[in-house]
Amino acid sequence: MKVLVVGGGGREHALVWALARSHLRPTLYCAPGNAGTRQQAENLPIAAEDLDGLCAWAEEHRPDLTVVGPEAPLCAGLADRLHALGLAVFGPEQAAARLEGSKAFAKEVMQAAGVPTARAGVFSDVGEALRYIDSLPGPCVVKADGLAAGKGVLLCETQVQAAAAARNLMEQRVFGAAGGTVLIEEMLEGEEVSVLALVDGERSVLLPSSQDHKRAFDRDQGPNTGGMGAYSPAPVLPDHELPAMQELVIDPIVRELKARGIRFCGVLYAGLMMTADGPRVLEYNVRFGDPETQCLLPRLDVDWVETMVACVQGRLDPSQIRVRSGACACVVMSAGGYPGAYRKGHPISGLDQANAMEGVAVFHAGTAWQEEQAVTAGGRVLGVTGLADSLEVALQRAYAGAGAIEFQDRHFRTDIGARALHPRAVRG
């Protein structure tokens, strides 16, 4: 069986790692992959956004399953084009991917489905946006409608900040066409949590909760990043509350899309804010999270080839998803300067030592293989995970693994999971 994984980050290495454990013993390919995926898959020199190149390869080699990691190719219609070739794809078609590709569309679907979310206005005219901002009583969030590589959400404490954000998006086009339309919504207070579900078009199965850490530095300081670490489960959303959350924020979206003639197949990811008034959906993603995937997959006893095929064929069975007890944590090691300017090409040492530690797995993200060694090739370089019976030990293992790895100007947060272990100290 041939399986193609599209993408080249830490999420995709984790997916390759998980798929390789299937009893079906698939032949794996990864486009473009990284220095980690090459250990279990054949890396292909095709970028994840190169839809023509991916489809040409797929038409020639006919993979039995394609698993799409990043959002950009899904929003660009990769699944549609592969389906037109008669190929199976784990990942939604373009119409369903609009849940992530257009925040305005997602908000409209949420409202139609009755999903709790923040109050918001949608604007394509900057004057109307500024007048709406003037009418708001407190802090707000200004969001670019389209994809902006995770950077298009601007938290504004004052009306002056919000007006500047709207002008930057709509007039200066700091994120290009993504900011032509903006959402302006109330700022919610609470604790964030990630809920991911497998969906086969009809049924959904929730995965354990997880919590990401977006800020670059300890105690949630510094600029937003793609994610500096994650852990699972998140105490703010215990396992016994997952069925209610499924019915509140996942199944209504699947039903609403179906009513519109849109079938969702793949991963539906709800980013939630747990407020004093109950959960509110901040956004939906249409794929596995990064780095949430790196701390979720080790906790799951799943044959991922079988399960993804079942999703594609509309026969997802909850019994296929078995959750191991305990906890898992992922610490992201980044290049110095990330998310700003950083250098590439630094040799990485200590990978074998870290991988040999009990309960530790190192997932490559921004790496490349040069002159028979792994080197840095991106901002987020590695995701070092620890799996154990408790979150405390899982974090100890992850940090032990990170401590064994060296590369020039390496950086990682030292407080991943602190909110779960010491909630009062973190909240002050």
CA separation, residue 419 to residues 146, 193, 237, 301, 333 (Å): 31, 12, 13, 27, 19
Q: For 19-72, what is each residue's pLDDT tens digit?
A: 999 999 999 999 999 999 999 999 999 999 999 999 999 999 999 999 999 999
Q: For 3-16, what is each residue's pLDDT tens digit?
A: 999 999 999 999 99
Structure tokens at 90: 């784990």
3-state class of 244 per DSSP?
A: helix
Mean pLDDT score, 212-230: 93
Q: Judge contact between 120 and 167, C-beta under 8 A.
A: no
Q: Which residues pair with 117 in a beta bridge?
A: 281
Which CATH fold would you assign to the domain 125-180?
Answer: Dna Ligase; domain 1 (3.30.1490)
Q: Judge contact between 130 and 113, C-beta under 8 A.
A: no
Q: For 178-194, what is each residue's pLDDT tens digit?
A: 889 999 999 999 999 99
Question: Is residue 139 reached through a cis peptide bond, with omega within 30 degrees of 0 on the bond before it?
Answer: no
In this predicted structure, the answer to whether residue 195 has a pLDDT above a threshold of 60 is: yes
Structure tokens at 414: 């030292």
Structure tokens at 404: 């064994």
In this predicted structure, the answer to whether residue 426 has a pLDDT above a threshold of 80 is: no
pLDDT band at 424 (very low <50, low <70, confident <90, very high): low
Mean pLDDT score, 294-312: 97
pLDDT of residue 427: 47
**Structural domain boundaries of the chain?**
2-93, 125-180
Q: Which residues of 147-165 are buried (b: 16+ CB within 10 A; e: fewer)?
A: bbeebbbbebeebebbbeb
Percent of the chain exceeding pLDDT 90 equals 91
In this predicted structure, the answer to whether residue 409 has a pLDDT above a threshold of 50 is: yes
Q: What integer best gives the mean pLDDT of the chain?
A: 95
Q: How many Cα atoms within 13 Å fall on the side-chain side of residue 290? A: 26
Mean pLDDT score, 283-301: 97
- Rounded to an integer, what is the distance from CA 293 to the centroid of its chain? 7
Which CATH fold would you assign to the domain 2-93?
Answer: Rossmann fold (3.40.50)
pTM: 0.94
Burial class (CB in 10 A: 0-12, 13-18, 19+), 222: middle
Mean pLDDT score, 126-151: 89
Which phi and psi (to 5°) does residue 120 adopt?
-155, 160
Quickly list DSSP for 148-215: -TT--EEEESSHHHHHHHHHHHHTS-TTGGGGSSEEEEEPP-SEEEEEEEEEESS-EEEPPPBEE--E
pLDDT of residue 149: 72
pLDDT of residue 428: 41
pLDDT of residue 138: 86
pLDDT of residue 423: 66
pLDDT of residue 189: 92
Q: For 70-126, what is each residue's pLDDT tens digit?
A: 999 999 999 999 999 999 999 999 999 999 999 999 999 999 999 999 999 999 999
pLDDT of residue 256: 98
